[in-house]
Structure 1
Amino acid sequence: MNHIVFFSGGKASFAVAAWVKEQYGHLRGHNILLYFTDVLWEDQDLYRFIYETSNRLELPMLIHGRGLTPPQLMVKQKFMANSRVGTCSKELKMKVASDYIKKGIKPEIELWHNKEFLKTNDFISNASLYFGIGVNELHREEPIKINWAPYDVVNPLIYHDINIDESLRKYSILPGQLYSKGFHHNNCGGKCIKGGFAHFKNLYMKDEISFLELMEQEIVISDYIRYCKQPAIKSGKLPDYMYKDVWEFVSSGKKSAKIQHIIDTHPYTKNWRFGKNRHGEDIKKPFTFMKTQSLYELKQQPMQYDIFDYGGCGCFIEFENSPAV
Protein backbone atom coordinates (compact mmCIF):
# COMPACT_ATOMS: atom_id res chain seq x y z
CA MET A 1 0.00 0.00 0.00
CA ASN A 2 1.05 3.58 -0.64
CA HIS A 3 0.67 6.44 1.82
CA ILE A 4 1.35 10.06 0.80
CA VAL A 5 1.46 12.65 3.58
CA PHE A 6 0.87 16.20 2.36
CA PHE A 7 3.59 17.77 4.46
CA SER A 8 3.30 21.56 4.81
CA GLY A 9 6.05 22.06 7.35
CA GLY A 10 3.53 22.72 10.09
CA LYS A 11 3.03 21.00 13.43
CA ALA A 12 -0.21 19.31 12.41
CA SER A 13 1.18 17.71 9.26
CA PHE A 14 4.16 16.48 11.29
CA ALA A 15 1.85 14.78 13.78
CA VAL A 16 0.04 13.10 10.88
CA ALA A 17 3.35 11.92 9.40
CA ALA A 18 4.41 10.46 12.75
CA TRP A 19 1.04 8.71 13.13
CA VAL A 20 1.23 7.17 9.65
CA LYS A 21 4.79 6.01 10.33
CA GLU A 22 3.72 4.35 13.59
CA GLN A 23 0.71 2.70 11.98
CA TYR A 24 2.28 1.40 8.78
CA GLY A 25 6.04 1.91 8.86
CA HIS A 26 6.74 -1.55 10.25
CA LEU A 27 4.51 -3.35 7.76
CA ARG A 28 6.07 -4.96 4.72
CA GLY A 29 5.12 -3.42 1.40
CA HIS A 30 3.80 -0.15 2.85
CA ASN A 31 5.34 2.90 1.17
CA ILE A 32 5.16 6.19 3.11
CA LEU A 33 6.12 9.46 1.42
CA LEU A 34 6.35 13.01 2.75
CA TYR A 35 5.25 15.36 -0.04
CA PHE A 36 6.15 19.06 0.19
CA THR A 37 5.27 21.69 -2.41
CA ASP A 38 7.70 24.60 -2.20
CA VAL A 39 6.64 28.16 -3.07
CA LEU A 40 10.18 29.45 -2.40
CA TRP A 41 8.82 32.05 0.03
CA GLU A 42 9.28 30.15 3.27
CA ASP A 43 10.97 30.99 6.53
CA GLN A 44 14.42 29.38 6.45
CA ASP A 45 13.68 27.46 9.64
CA LEU A 46 10.87 25.61 7.86
CA TYR A 47 13.48 23.81 5.76
CA ARG A 48 15.33 22.78 8.92
CA PHE A 49 12.06 21.38 10.22
CA ILE A 50 11.06 19.36 7.13
CA TYR A 51 14.52 17.83 6.64
CA GLU A 52 14.80 17.02 10.33
CA THR A 53 11.39 15.35 10.19
CA SER A 54 12.41 13.21 7.23
CA ASN A 55 15.58 12.19 9.07
CA ARG A 56 13.98 11.44 12.44
CA LEU A 57 11.03 9.52 11.01
CA GLU A 58 13.26 7.83 8.42
CA LEU A 59 10.80 8.66 5.66
CA PRO A 60 11.54 9.73 2.09
CA MET A 61 10.59 13.28 1.19
CA LEU A 62 9.73 14.56 -2.28
CA ILE A 63 9.85 18.32 -2.87
CA HIS A 64 8.11 19.79 -5.90
CA GLY A 65 7.79 23.36 -7.10
CA ARG A 66 7.29 25.55 -10.12
CA GLY A 67 10.27 27.77 -9.38
CA LEU A 68 8.04 30.77 -8.72
CA THR A 69 7.27 32.75 -5.59
CA PRO A 70 3.73 34.08 -4.97
CA PRO A 71 4.72 37.67 -5.95
CA GLN A 72 6.30 36.41 -9.18
CA LEU A 73 3.13 34.47 -9.97
CA MET A 74 1.00 37.57 -9.38
CA VAL A 75 3.12 39.54 -11.85
CA LYS A 76 2.93 36.76 -14.45
CA GLN A 77 -0.84 36.42 -14.06
CA LYS A 78 -1.41 40.17 -13.68
CA PHE A 79 -3.70 39.26 -10.81
CA MET A 80 -3.22 39.94 -7.11
CA ALA A 81 -3.88 36.90 -4.98
CA ASN A 82 -5.81 37.94 -1.89
CA SER A 83 -7.76 36.78 1.14
CA ARG A 84 -10.69 35.82 -1.10
CA VAL A 85 -8.88 34.22 -4.04
CA GLY A 86 -5.72 32.31 -3.20
CA THR A 87 -4.31 31.83 -6.69
CA CYS A 88 -0.82 31.33 -5.25
CA SER A 89 -1.82 28.22 -3.25
CA LYS A 90 -3.97 27.05 -6.17
CA GLU A 91 -1.23 27.32 -8.79
CA LEU A 92 1.93 26.71 -6.77
CA LYS A 93 0.66 23.99 -4.45
CA MET A 94 -2.66 22.42 -5.50
CA LYS A 95 -2.09 22.29 -9.25
CA VAL A 96 1.50 21.10 -8.86
CA ALA A 97 0.38 18.25 -6.62
CA SER A 98 -2.69 17.37 -8.69
CA ASP A 99 -0.79 17.33 -11.99
CA TYR A 100 1.84 15.03 -10.54
CA ILE A 101 -0.28 12.59 -8.55
CA LYS A 102 -3.22 12.38 -10.97
CA LYS A 103 -1.45 12.85 -14.30
CA GLY A 104 2.21 12.06 -13.68
CA ILE A 105 3.30 15.55 -14.80
CA LYS A 106 6.48 16.66 -13.07
CA PRO A 107 6.90 20.39 -12.28
CA GLU A 108 9.98 22.49 -12.96
CA ILE A 109 11.64 21.59 -9.65
CA GLU A 110 11.97 18.12 -8.16
CA LEU A 111 14.19 17.31 -5.16
CA TRP A 112 14.45 14.10 -3.17
CA HIS A 113 15.64 13.62 0.40
CA ASN A 114 16.17 10.18 1.94
CA LYS A 115 14.89 8.50 -1.21
CA GLU A 116 16.56 5.29 -0.06
CA PHE A 117 13.72 4.86 2.45
CA LEU A 118 11.25 4.20 -0.39
CA LYS A 119 10.21 0.55 -0.33
CA THR A 120 8.99 0.47 -3.93
CA ASN A 121 9.43 2.84 -6.85
CA ASP A 122 5.68 3.02 -7.42
CA PHE A 123 4.52 5.17 -4.53
CA ILE A 124 1.42 6.68 -6.17
CA SER A 125 -0.81 3.85 -7.40
CA ASN A 126 -3.89 3.43 -5.18
CA ALA A 127 -2.33 5.73 -2.60
CA SER A 128 -4.06 7.01 0.50
CA LEU A 129 -3.58 10.76 0.88
CA TYR A 130 -3.14 12.24 4.35
CA PHE A 131 -3.83 15.83 5.42
CA GLY A 132 -3.16 17.67 8.67
CA ILE A 133 -6.60 19.13 9.34
CA GLY A 134 -8.26 18.79 12.72
CA VAL A 135 -11.77 18.88 14.18
CA ASN A 136 -11.76 22.69 14.03
CA GLU A 137 -11.48 22.40 10.25
CA LEU A 138 -14.26 19.94 9.49
CA HIS A 139 -15.53 22.23 6.75
CA ARG A 140 -12.36 21.46 4.78
CA GLU A 141 -12.76 17.69 4.77
CA GLU A 142 -15.44 17.24 2.12
CA PRO A 143 -13.93 19.64 -0.45
CA ILE A 144 -10.57 17.90 -0.10
CA LYS A 145 -12.18 14.51 -0.68
CA ILE A 146 -14.00 15.79 -3.75
CA ASN A 147 -10.86 17.35 -5.19
CA TRP A 148 -8.77 14.23 -4.72
CA ALA A 149 -11.25 11.59 -5.85
CA PRO A 150 -10.78 8.73 -6.64
CA TYR A 151 -7.90 8.65 -4.13
CA ASP A 152 -8.68 7.74 -0.55
CA VAL A 153 -8.36 10.83 1.67
CA VAL A 154 -7.52 10.32 5.34
CA ASN A 155 -7.57 12.95 8.10
CA PRO A 156 -6.14 11.27 11.21
CA LEU A 157 -6.38 14.36 13.43
CA ILE A 158 -10.17 14.34 13.06
CA TYR A 159 -10.79 10.69 13.85
CA HIS A 160 -7.94 9.75 16.19
CA ASP A 161 -6.76 11.09 19.52
CA ILE A 162 -3.41 12.55 18.44
CA ASN A 163 -1.55 14.97 20.67
CA ILE A 164 0.45 17.19 18.30
CA ASP A 165 2.81 18.60 20.92
CA GLU A 166 3.42 15.14 22.36
CA SER A 167 4.36 13.88 18.89
CA LEU A 168 6.96 16.63 18.57
CA ARG A 169 8.37 15.85 22.02
CA LYS A 170 8.50 12.14 21.27
CA TYR A 171 10.80 12.70 18.31
CA SER A 172 12.65 15.65 19.91
CA ILE A 173 11.81 18.05 17.11
CA LEU A 174 11.29 21.77 17.60
CA PRO A 175 8.46 23.23 15.51
CA GLY A 176 9.11 26.05 13.06
CA GLN A 177 10.14 29.30 14.72
CA LEU A 178 7.15 31.20 13.31
CA TYR A 179 4.99 29.59 16.01
CA SER A 180 7.14 31.14 18.73
CA LYS A 181 6.57 34.53 17.07
CA GLY A 182 2.81 34.23 17.46
CA PHE A 183 1.88 33.04 13.96
CA HIS A 184 -0.85 30.40 13.63
CA HIS A 185 0.93 28.45 10.90
CA ASN A 186 4.43 27.95 9.51
CA ASN A 187 3.77 28.91 5.89
CA CYS A 188 5.26 31.57 3.60
CA GLY A 189 7.53 33.07 6.23
CA GLY A 190 4.59 34.77 7.92
CA LYS A 191 3.73 36.64 4.70
CA CYS A 192 0.71 34.53 3.65
CA ILE A 193 -1.51 36.86 1.63
CA LYS A 194 -4.62 35.10 2.94
CA GLY A 195 -3.84 36.40 6.39
CA GLY A 196 -6.13 38.81 8.19
CA PHE A 197 -5.62 42.02 10.16
CA ALA A 198 -4.25 40.29 13.26
CA HIS A 199 -1.89 38.18 11.16
CA PHE A 200 -0.35 41.17 9.40
CA LYS A 201 -0.24 43.24 12.60
CA ASN A 202 1.74 40.41 14.16
CA LEU A 203 4.08 40.40 11.16
CA TYR A 204 4.56 44.16 11.57
CA MET A 205 5.37 43.76 15.26
CA LYS A 206 7.60 40.67 15.01
CA ASP A 207 9.30 41.13 11.63
CA GLU A 208 9.02 44.74 10.48
CA ILE A 209 11.50 44.24 7.63
CA SER A 210 9.41 41.48 6.04
CA PHE A 211 6.24 43.52 6.59
CA LEU A 212 7.67 46.57 4.83
CA GLU A 213 8.98 44.45 1.95
CA LEU A 214 5.54 42.88 1.53
CA MET A 215 3.83 46.29 1.78
CA GLU A 216 6.00 47.62 -1.04
CA GLN A 217 5.29 44.54 -3.15
CA GLU A 218 1.56 45.08 -2.63
CA ILE A 219 1.89 48.70 -3.80
CA VAL A 220 3.99 47.90 -6.87
CA ILE A 221 2.02 44.83 -7.98
CA SER A 222 -1.24 46.73 -7.54
CA ASP A 223 -0.07 49.60 -9.73
CA TYR A 224 1.30 47.16 -12.30
CA ILE A 225 -2.03 45.33 -12.54
CA ARG A 226 -3.92 48.59 -12.90
CA TYR A 227 -1.48 49.65 -15.60
CA CYS A 228 -1.94 46.37 -17.50
CA LYS A 229 -5.74 46.65 -17.39
CA GLN A 230 -5.70 49.63 -19.71
CA PRO A 231 -7.14 48.57 -23.08
CA ALA A 232 -4.14 49.77 -25.06
CA ILE A 233 -1.80 47.63 -22.96
CA LYS A 234 -4.10 44.59 -22.94
CA SER A 235 -4.56 44.73 -26.69
CA GLY A 236 -0.85 45.06 -27.36
CA LYS A 237 -1.21 48.44 -29.08
CA LEU A 238 1.21 49.82 -26.51
CA PRO A 239 4.17 47.84 -25.14
CA ASP A 240 4.36 46.88 -21.47
CA TYR A 241 7.02 49.28 -20.23
CA MET A 242 6.74 48.19 -16.59
CA TYR A 243 7.16 44.41 -16.69
CA LYS A 244 10.97 44.24 -16.63
CA ASP A 245 11.29 46.61 -13.66
CA VAL A 246 8.45 44.97 -11.72
CA TRP A 247 9.77 41.45 -12.33
CA GLU A 248 13.25 42.41 -11.19
CA PHE A 249 11.80 44.02 -8.08
CA VAL A 250 9.69 41.03 -6.95
CA SER A 251 12.51 38.62 -7.84
CA SER A 252 15.49 40.35 -6.27
CA GLY A 253 14.20 43.36 -4.35
CA LYS A 254 16.13 45.70 -6.64
CA LYS A 255 14.31 49.01 -7.11
CA SER A 256 14.76 50.83 -10.35
CA ALA A 257 14.01 54.55 -10.45
CA LYS A 258 10.59 53.67 -11.84
CA ILE A 259 9.80 51.29 -8.96
CA GLN A 260 11.08 53.70 -6.33
CA HIS A 261 8.88 56.42 -7.80
CA ILE A 262 5.79 54.18 -7.55
CA ILE A 263 6.54 53.48 -3.88
CA ASP A 264 7.37 57.10 -2.99
CA THR A 265 4.30 58.59 -4.65
CA HIS A 266 1.84 55.89 -3.61
CA PRO A 267 0.08 57.94 -0.89
CA TYR A 268 -0.72 60.62 -3.46
CA THR A 269 -1.49 58.56 -6.55
CA LYS A 270 -3.47 55.60 -5.15
CA ASN A 271 -6.78 57.38 -5.82
CA TRP A 272 -5.85 58.90 -9.16
CA ARG A 273 -7.52 57.77 -12.31
CA PHE A 274 -5.39 55.11 -13.92
CA GLY A 275 -6.76 54.99 -17.43
CA LYS A 276 -9.95 53.16 -18.40
CA ASN A 277 -10.91 49.51 -18.11
CA ARG A 278 -12.74 47.54 -20.80
CA HIS A 279 -16.07 48.91 -19.56
CA GLY A 280 -14.86 52.48 -19.99
CA GLU A 281 -14.72 53.01 -16.23
CA ASP A 282 -11.90 54.80 -14.43
CA ILE A 283 -9.28 52.47 -12.98
CA LYS A 284 -8.40 53.97 -9.63
CA LYS A 285 -9.02 51.42 -6.88
CA PRO A 286 -5.77 49.79 -5.72
CA PHE A 287 -5.66 46.00 -5.37
CA THR A 288 -4.90 44.70 -1.88
CA PHE A 289 -4.27 41.41 -0.10
CA MET A 290 -6.97 42.10 2.49
CA LYS A 291 -10.51 42.97 1.46
CA THR A 292 -10.97 46.30 3.18
CA GLN A 293 -7.49 47.63 3.89
CA SER A 294 -4.02 47.76 2.40
CA LEU A 295 -0.86 46.99 4.36
CA TYR A 296 0.09 50.65 3.99
CA GLU A 297 -3.17 51.66 5.70
CA LEU A 298 -2.67 49.04 8.41
CA LYS A 299 0.80 50.44 9.06
CA GLN A 300 -0.55 54.00 9.33
CA GLN A 301 -3.22 52.99 11.86
CA PRO A 302 -1.80 49.84 13.45
CA MET A 303 -4.23 49.73 16.36
CA GLN A 304 -7.39 49.75 14.26
CA TYR A 305 -7.76 46.11 13.35
CA ASP A 306 -9.69 42.96 14.25
CA ILE A 307 -7.61 41.16 16.88
CA PHE A 308 -9.26 37.85 16.02
CA ASP A 309 -8.83 38.08 12.23
CA TYR A 310 -5.86 35.81 11.58
CA GLY A 311 -7.06 34.34 8.30
CA GLY A 312 -5.16 31.45 6.80
CA CYS A 313 -4.11 29.81 3.59
CA GLY A 314 -6.59 26.94 3.49
CA CYS A 315 -4.56 25.04 0.92
CA PHE A 316 -6.33 22.16 -0.81
CA ILE A 317 -9.85 23.32 0.14
CA GLU A 318 -10.76 23.99 -3.46
CA PHE A 319 -9.00 23.45 -6.73
CA GLU A 320 -10.82 21.79 -9.59
CA ASN A 321 -14.00 23.81 -9.02
CA SER A 322 -12.41 27.10 -8.07
CA PRO A 323 -12.98 30.07 -10.41
CA ALA A 324 -10.51 30.64 -13.18
CA VAL A 325 -8.27 33.68 -13.01
Structure 2
Amino acid sequence: MAKHVVMFSSGAGSWAAARRVADQHGTEDLHLVFSDVKGDNPSPHAGEDQDNYRFLRQAAWDIGAPLVWLNEGRDVWKVFEDNRFLGNTRLANCSKFLKQQPARAWLEENCDPADTTVYVGIDWSESHRLPAIERGYAPYKALAPLCDPPYLDKDDILEDLRQRGIKPPRLYEMGFAHANCGGFCVRSGQAQFKRLLEKMPERYAYHEQKEQNLRTFLGKDIAILRNRKGGTTKPLTLREFREQLQADQINVDPYDIGGCGCFVEEENAA
Protein backbone atom coordinates (compact mmCIF):
# COMPACT_ATOMS: atom_id res chain seq x y z
CA MET A 1 0.00 0.00 0.00
CA ALA A 2 1.26 3.50 -0.86
CA LYS A 3 2.45 5.54 2.10
CA HIS A 4 1.98 9.31 2.38
CA VAL A 5 4.11 11.46 4.68
CA VAL A 6 3.40 15.15 5.28
CA MET A 7 6.07 17.34 6.82
CA PHE A 8 3.78 18.92 9.41
CA SER A 9 5.29 22.19 10.61
CA SER A 10 2.51 23.48 12.92
CA GLY A 11 1.77 26.24 10.40
CA ALA A 12 -1.38 26.71 8.33
CA GLY A 13 0.25 25.71 5.04
CA SER A 14 1.23 22.24 6.16
CA TRP A 15 -2.31 21.66 7.49
CA ALA A 16 -3.78 22.68 4.12
CA ALA A 17 -1.35 20.38 2.29
CA ALA A 18 -2.22 17.49 4.61
CA ARG A 19 -5.93 18.19 4.18
CA ARG A 20 -5.57 17.81 0.40
CA VAL A 21 -3.58 14.60 0.76
CA ALA A 22 -6.16 13.13 3.15
CA ASP A 23 -9.05 14.13 0.90
CA GLN A 24 -7.38 12.53 -2.13
CA HIS A 25 -5.79 9.42 -0.63
CA GLY A 26 -7.52 8.86 2.70
CA THR A 27 -5.79 8.48 6.04
CA GLU A 28 -5.14 4.76 6.27
CA ASP A 29 -1.41 5.12 5.59
CA LEU A 30 -0.97 8.86 6.09
CA HIS A 31 1.58 10.14 8.60
CA LEU A 32 2.08 13.71 9.84
CA VAL A 33 5.72 14.24 10.83
CA PHE A 34 6.50 17.14 13.16
CA SER A 35 10.11 17.96 14.06
CA ASP A 36 10.19 19.96 17.30
CA VAL A 37 13.01 22.50 17.75
CA LYS A 38 12.40 22.95 21.49
CA GLY A 39 14.58 20.06 22.61
CA ASP A 40 14.57 19.70 26.38
CA ASN A 41 14.63 23.47 26.98
CA PRO A 42 11.88 24.35 29.51
CA SER A 43 11.76 28.03 28.52
CA PRO A 44 8.43 29.15 27.01
CA HIS A 45 10.48 31.19 24.52
CA ALA A 46 12.26 28.16 23.05
CA GLY A 47 10.81 26.12 20.22
CA GLU A 48 7.41 26.89 18.76
CA ASP A 49 5.00 29.42 20.18
CA GLN A 50 2.86 27.81 22.88
CA ASP A 51 -0.26 28.28 20.78
CA ASN A 52 1.35 26.41 17.89
CA TYR A 53 1.49 23.26 20.00
CA ARG A 54 -2.25 23.63 20.60
CA PHE A 55 -2.84 24.11 16.88
CA LEU A 56 -0.57 21.18 16.01
CA ARG A 57 -2.67 18.70 17.99
CA GLN A 58 -5.97 20.15 16.84
CA ALA A 59 -4.89 20.21 13.18
CA ALA A 60 -3.69 16.59 13.34
CA TRP A 61 -7.00 15.56 14.90
CA ASP A 62 -8.83 17.29 12.05
CA ILE A 63 -6.77 15.43 9.45
CA GLY A 64 -7.40 12.15 11.26
CA ALA A 65 -3.88 10.76 10.81
CA PRO A 66 -1.23 9.85 13.39
CA LEU A 67 1.10 12.64 14.47
CA VAL A 68 4.75 11.57 14.57
CA TRP A 69 6.46 13.90 17.06
CA LEU A 70 10.24 14.03 16.65
CA ASN A 71 12.60 15.79 19.05
CA GLU A 72 16.37 15.67 18.59
CA GLY A 73 16.91 16.84 22.18
CA ARG A 74 18.55 20.23 21.56
CA ASP A 75 17.15 23.66 20.88
CA VAL A 76 18.49 25.99 18.18
CA TRP A 77 20.95 27.80 20.46
CA LYS A 78 22.46 24.55 21.68
CA VAL A 79 22.98 23.56 18.04
CA PHE A 80 24.73 26.88 17.36
CA GLU A 81 26.97 26.34 20.38
CA ASP A 82 27.79 22.70 19.57
CA ASN A 83 28.35 23.50 15.90
CA ARG A 84 30.27 26.69 16.75
CA PHE A 85 28.29 28.43 14.05
CA LEU A 86 25.42 30.94 14.20
CA GLY A 87 22.77 30.09 11.61
CA ASN A 88 21.92 32.77 9.08
CA THR A 89 19.88 33.41 5.94
CA ARG A 90 22.28 31.36 3.82
CA LEU A 91 22.84 28.37 6.08
CA ALA A 92 20.44 27.42 8.86
CA ASN A 93 22.25 24.65 10.71
CA CYS A 94 19.38 24.56 13.24
CA SER A 95 17.11 23.41 10.44
CA LYS A 96 19.60 20.81 9.31
CA PHE A 97 20.11 19.17 12.69
CA LEU A 98 16.71 19.65 14.34
CA LYS A 99 14.31 19.24 11.42
CA GLN A 100 15.89 17.81 8.29
CA GLN A 101 18.02 15.07 9.78
CA PRO A 102 15.47 13.72 12.31
CA ALA A 103 12.77 13.68 9.62
CA ARG A 104 15.06 11.96 7.12
CA ALA A 105 16.10 9.38 9.70
CA TRP A 106 12.45 8.61 10.43
CA LEU A 107 11.72 8.27 6.73
CA GLU A 108 14.59 5.87 6.15
CA GLU A 109 13.63 3.76 9.16
CA ASN A 110 9.92 3.58 8.42
CA CYS A 111 9.33 4.18 4.72
CA ASP A 112 10.31 2.48 1.48
CA PRO A 113 11.14 5.02 -1.27
CA ALA A 114 9.48 2.71 -3.77
CA ASP A 115 6.01 3.34 -2.33
CA THR A 116 6.32 6.55 -0.28
CA THR A 117 5.46 10.12 -1.24
CA VAL A 118 6.60 13.07 0.88
CA TYR A 119 4.58 16.30 0.93
CA VAL A 120 5.57 19.84 1.94
CA GLY A 121 3.39 22.89 2.54
CA ILE A 122 4.72 25.47 0.09
CA ASP A 123 2.10 27.05 -2.16
CA TRP A 124 1.88 28.21 -5.79
CA SER A 125 3.79 31.44 -5.02
CA GLU A 126 6.83 29.33 -4.06
CA SER A 127 6.64 26.77 -6.86
CA HIS A 128 10.15 27.74 -7.99
CA ARG A 129 11.40 25.87 -4.92
CA LEU A 130 9.93 22.57 -6.03
CA PRO A 131 12.92 21.29 -8.09
CA ALA A 132 15.21 21.69 -5.05
CA ILE A 133 12.66 19.94 -2.86
CA GLU A 134 12.49 17.02 -5.28
CA ARG A 135 16.28 16.70 -5.36
CA GLY A 136 16.57 17.03 -1.61
CA TYR A 137 14.13 14.24 -0.82
CA ALA A 138 15.33 11.80 -3.48
CA PRO A 139 14.95 8.84 -3.76
CA TYR A 140 11.55 9.58 -2.17
CA LYS A 141 8.98 11.24 -4.40
CA ALA A 142 8.23 14.76 -3.16
CA LEU A 143 5.15 16.85 -3.94
CA ALA A 144 3.70 20.21 -2.91
CA PRO A 145 -0.12 19.90 -3.07
CA LEU A 146 -0.71 23.65 -2.68
CA CYS A 147 1.23 24.33 -5.88
CA ASP A 148 -1.68 22.72 -7.75
CA PRO A 149 -5.15 24.22 -8.34
CA PRO A 150 -7.33 25.31 -6.76
CA TYR A 151 -4.82 27.99 -5.79
CA LEU A 152 -5.16 29.36 -2.28
CA ASP A 153 -3.52 32.27 -0.50
CA LYS A 154 -2.87 32.46 3.22
CA ASP A 155 -6.20 34.20 3.95
CA ASP A 156 -8.06 31.44 2.11
CA ILE A 157 -6.33 28.79 4.22
CA LEU A 158 -6.99 30.63 7.48
CA GLU A 159 -10.66 30.95 6.57
CA ASP A 160 -10.80 27.23 5.75
CA LEU A 161 -9.41 26.49 9.20
CA ARG A 162 -12.05 28.64 10.88
CA GLN A 163 -14.79 27.00 8.84
CA ARG A 164 -13.65 23.65 10.26
CA GLY A 165 -13.74 25.02 13.80
CA ILE A 166 -9.94 25.34 14.15
CA LYS A 167 -8.43 28.54 15.49
CA PRO A 168 -5.27 29.37 13.49
CA PRO A 169 -1.99 29.91 15.37
CA ARG A 170 -2.06 33.29 17.11
CA LEU A 171 1.11 34.47 15.36
CA TYR A 172 -0.91 35.04 12.18
CA GLU A 173 -3.22 37.37 14.09
CA MET A 174 -0.14 39.25 15.28
CA GLY A 175 0.87 39.86 11.67
CA PHE A 176 3.61 37.28 11.27
CA ALA A 177 3.93 35.87 7.74
CA HIS A 178 5.10 32.54 9.17
CA ALA A 179 3.89 30.89 12.36
CA ASN A 180 6.91 28.65 12.90
CA CYS A 181 9.66 28.79 15.55
CA GLY A 182 7.80 31.22 17.75
CA GLY A 183 8.28 34.11 15.33
CA PHE A 184 12.06 33.75 15.66
CA CYS A 185 14.12 32.40 12.78
CA VAL A 186 17.71 33.04 11.73
CA ARG A 187 16.43 33.25 8.15
CA SER A 188 14.19 36.19 9.05
CA GLY A 189 14.74 39.74 7.90
CA GLN A 190 14.62 42.97 9.85
CA ALA A 191 10.86 43.42 9.44
CA GLN A 192 10.22 40.06 11.08
CA PHE A 193 12.49 40.86 14.04
CA LYS A 194 10.88 44.30 14.39
CA ARG A 195 7.50 42.61 14.68
CA LEU A 196 8.86 40.11 17.19
CA LEU A 197 10.14 42.98 19.34
CA GLU A 198 6.81 44.81 19.12
CA LYS A 199 4.52 41.83 19.69
CA MET A 200 6.56 39.60 22.00
CA PRO A 201 9.29 41.68 23.66
CA GLU A 202 10.07 39.01 26.25
CA ARG A 203 10.74 36.44 23.53
CA TYR A 204 12.87 38.96 21.65
CA ALA A 205 14.85 39.65 24.86
CA TYR A 206 15.39 35.91 25.32
CA HIS A 207 16.92 35.50 21.87
CA GLU A 208 18.82 38.76 22.19
CA GLN A 209 20.55 37.43 25.31
CA LYS A 210 21.17 34.05 23.68
CA GLU A 211 22.90 35.77 20.77
CA GLN A 212 25.07 37.76 23.20
CA ASN A 213 25.96 34.58 25.08
CA LEU A 214 27.02 32.86 21.85
CA ARG A 215 29.16 35.83 20.82
CA THR A 216 30.95 35.61 24.16
CA PHE A 217 31.29 31.82 23.94
CA LEU A 218 32.80 31.93 20.45
CA GLY A 219 34.72 35.16 20.94
CA LYS A 220 33.56 36.39 17.52
CA ASP A 221 31.74 39.42 16.18
CA ILE A 222 28.77 37.51 14.80
CA ALA A 223 25.09 38.33 14.51
CA ILE A 224 21.93 37.09 12.87
CA LEU A 225 21.17 40.41 11.17
CA ARG A 226 23.33 42.60 8.93
CA ASN A 227 23.95 46.35 8.81
CA ARG A 228 24.43 47.39 5.18
CA LYS A 229 24.75 51.15 5.64
CA GLY A 230 27.50 53.02 3.85
CA GLY A 231 28.09 50.36 1.24
CA THR A 232 29.61 47.89 3.69
CA THR A 233 28.09 44.89 5.43
CA LYS A 234 28.65 44.42 9.14
CA PRO A 235 27.09 42.18 11.80
CA LEU A 236 24.08 43.79 13.48
CA THR A 237 23.24 42.16 16.81
CA LEU A 238 19.70 41.88 18.08
CA ARG A 239 20.70 44.23 20.90
CA GLU A 240 22.00 46.85 18.49
CA PHE A 241 18.96 46.46 16.28
CA ARG A 242 16.61 46.95 19.25
CA GLU A 243 18.53 50.00 20.46
CA GLN A 244 18.49 51.57 17.00
CA LEU A 245 14.75 50.96 16.68
CA GLN A 246 14.07 52.44 20.08
CA ALA A 247 16.19 55.50 19.22
CA ASP A 248 14.49 55.82 15.81
CA GLN A 249 17.88 55.47 14.11
CA ILE A 250 16.99 52.80 11.56
CA ASN A 251 14.48 52.48 8.74
CA VAL A 252 13.20 48.94 8.29
CA ASP A 253 12.04 47.69 4.91
CA PRO A 254 8.52 46.35 5.65
CA TYR A 255 9.00 43.67 2.99
CA ASP A 256 12.21 42.35 4.53
CA ILE A 257 10.49 39.32 6.06
CA GLY A 258 12.60 36.34 5.02
CA GLY A 259 12.38 33.22 7.09
CA CYS A 260 10.95 29.72 6.99
CA GLY A 261 12.62 27.34 4.58
CA CYS A 262 13.29 24.39 6.84
CA PHE A 263 11.84 21.68 4.62
CA VAL A 264 12.38 23.28 1.25
CA GLU A 265 16.03 24.33 1.11
CA GLU A 266 18.16 21.92 -0.88
CA GLU A 267 21.35 22.67 1.04
CA ASN A 268 19.71 21.47 4.26
CA ALA A 269 17.93 18.41 2.95
CA ALA A 270 19.38 15.69 5.16
Which category of TM-score, normalised to the shorter sequence, fits these structures? 0.7 to 0.9
Aligned partners of 1:152 and 1:216: how far apart in 2? 41
1:168 equivalent in alignment to 2:171:
no
Aligned partners of 2:81 and 2:91: how far apart in 1? 15
SS of 2:70's equivalent? strand
What residue is the counterpart of 1:69 in the other structure?
75
What's the TM-score, normalizing by structure 1? 0.71
Task: Give 1:2-41 correspondences, 5 Å limit.
Answer: 2-25=3-26, 30-40=28-38, 41=47
Gaps of 5+ in 1: 105-121, 227-284
RMSD (Å) for aligned C-alpha atoms: 2.0
What's the TM-score, normalizing by structure 2? 0.84
What residue is the counterpart of 1:294 in the other structure?
237
2:95 to 69, 74, 89: 89
What is the Cα deviation at residue 123 of structure 1? 5.6
SS of 1:59's equivalent? coil
**Contact 1:10–1:186 (CA under 8 A) maintained in structure 2:** yes
1:201 to 184, 194, 198: 194
What residue is the counterpart of 1:129 in the other structure?
118
What residue is the counterpart of 1:243 in the other structure?
none
What is the Cα deviation at residue 138 of structure 1? 1.9
What is the Cα deviation at residue 97 of structure 1? 1.2
Query: What amino acid is the match of 1:299?
Result: R
What residue is the counterpart of 2:232 in the other structure?
none
Aligned partners of 1:317 and 1:55: how far apart in 2? 25
Gaps of 5+ in 2: 39-46, 228-235
Query: What amino acid is the match of 2:242?
Result: K
- Any idea what the Cα deviations from partners look like across 1:123-174, whole Å, max 9, x if unmatched? 6552111111112112211111001112111111111215423431342111
SS of 1:156's equivalent? coil
What residue is the counterpart of 2:260 in the other structure?
313
What residue is the counterpart of 1:215 in the other structure?
208
What is the Cα deviation at residue 176 of structure 1? 0.6
Q: What stretches of structure 1 move > 4 A for 4+ residues in a row?
A: 122-125
**Contact 2:32–2:60 (CA under 8 A) maintained in structure 1:** yes
Q: Which has the larger radius of gyration?
A: 1
SS of 2:225's equivalent? coil
Aligned partners of 2:101 and 2:179: how far apart in 1? 21
1:224 equivalent in alignment to 2:232:
no
What residue is the counterpart of 1:147 in the other structure?
136
Identity of aligned residues (%): 33
